[in-house]
Amino acid sequence: MTTYGATPAHVAIIMDGNGRWAKARGLPRLAGHRAGVEALRRTVRAAPGLGIAYLTVYAFSSENWSRPQSEVSDLMGLLKIFIRRDLAELHQNGVKVVVIGDRATLQPEIRSLLEEAELLTAGNGALTLAIAFNYGGRDEIARAARKLALSVARGEIDPEDITPAAFSSALDTAGIPDPELVIRTSGELRLSNFLLWQAAYSELAFLPCYWPDFSADHLAEAVREFGRRERRFGGLAPQDVAL
């Protein structure tokens, strides 16, 4: 299968560069993360108008715990503020909030805020916003494997039932289509443990700007650039088939 010119239904973003944005201005890293939340708000508002139905953002990775305790607690605080301040607007705009990642080790207060956001917005359909929090691709894959192994051990499924589709359904992103486009800001050229399974055939866009500078125009340009990509999924382009 080859496709061109379509709008990506699912865009996933590695919001990178908050710290460097702050440093360039002589500001504390927290100022960069705060400006990052503003950029996230802009992006969520712009996405539906560009035909995006699913937006996944990498807000806190399972490796981010290794940052200084003060920064970890700043990021936890920003998540709480984001949910508390923005939930009403998100709901009003028809945004369905889902959270991917391992919740087991999060503070109970954060867990219940996340559950409240998911519950309130579960029926919305304008945009699904998947927040990757305490998320790591390898951890997600290992947890899915454990779930499936448990089902085999209980006799609920056979090992032969573990197909790619069954595996996808055991991931945190069950029910969400794979991202067609993964964007990373700040000029770094790697996936950093983000959506490792789901991004198998994603188009990748690496933007030089720091995340706090990301705008609706950047998003629109990335979507336009996606439309110019030839996607072959391991097959051949139509003009090469007869050769």
Query: Any contact of residue 8 with ligand FPP (CB under 6 A)?
Result: no
Among left, alpha and beta (phi > 0; psi -120 to 50; other), residue 15 is: beta
Query: Any contact of residue 194 with ligand FPP (CB under 6 A)?
Result: no
Query: Any contact of residue 78 with ligand FPP (CB under 6 A)?
Result: yes
Residue 4 DSSP label: -
With CB under 6 A as the contact rule, the residue among 54, 82, 135, 226 that binds ligand FPP is 82
Q: Tell me the CA distances in angstroms from 5 to 138, 142, 223, 226, one per residue in order.
A: 32, 35, 10, 7
Contact map string, positions 24 to 53, toward ligand FPP, x by CB under 6 A: ---------x--xx--x-------------
Give the residue from 55, 138, 67, 66 showing the smallest Cα distance to 97: 55
- Number of residues counted as binding ligand FPP (CB under 6 A): 18
Span from 18-26, 119-127, 138-146, 148-156 in contact with ligand FPP (CB under 6 A): 18-26
| Chain position whose Cβ is nearest to ligand FPP | 19
With CB under 6 A as the contact rule, the residue among 8, 19, 136, 179 that binds ligand FPP is 19
Q: Tell me the CA distances in angstroms from 23 to 68, 90, 194, one per residue in order.
A: 16, 31, 25
Query: Any contact of residue 95 with ligand FPP (CB under 6 A)?
Result: no
Query: Any contact of residue 211 with ligand FPP (CB under 6 A)?
Result: yes
Sheet strands (E) in 89-214:
95-100, 127-135, 181-184, 203-206
Give the residue from 6, 50, 17 showing the smallest Cα distance to 184: 17
In the three-class reduction of DSSP (H, G, I as helix; E, B as strand; rest coil), residue 107 is classed as coil
To ligand FPP, the closest distance from the beta carbon of 2 in angstroms equals: 34
The site for ligand FPP (CB under 6 A) is made up of 15-20, 33, 36-37, 40, 59, 64, 75, 78-79, 82, 186, 211
